Chain A
């Protein structure tokens, strides 16, 4: 089915570990985004990508790394996880046209102990 999928849905890890969250979309959307959602802060942009091999920082990029070697995939890596990165992470994609919305994946709930 067409859509945007994230994996894993739930992840528990320890501080200092590296963890990668996966995002895959089948719409061939140019733009992809990573957000984190925390109580009291709403959704905050971490990184986004306009096309393969083009990425840019968002509001809260520190401690995260992204890559986009293929249009359909946009993995997010926490190189050395910290407790403050415990959050729900949402991936989104969009066609990039002005009135076109972003479409969100189901999210990854990440806990760092």
Chain B
């Protein structure tokens, strides 16, 4: 079965500093990996995805993520955080080659609350 772990419930960072939100995954086949952001009382918005190719993926609002196959990680990063980045961030994985046929299902982590302070 596919799974995602976000080890930090909350990440605090000062505005202007770099930020990292961690994500590790487990799949039996090859992964498609995603990051979504959720603002209060709103739905999830797509940030970026890794399908294949370059391990460094760039997405919306200056965010990027690095796929590391050996460490089964897909950490979200931003060089300079903004107060407006404060939100709940979800990592998700889709196993495209798993024996359980999970190719059509996206599994989410439990979310990491990012708080950017002045």
Please say whether chains A and B are actual partners in one complex. Answer: no
Residues of B within 8 A of A (CB): none
Name A's B-contacting residues (CB within 8 A): none
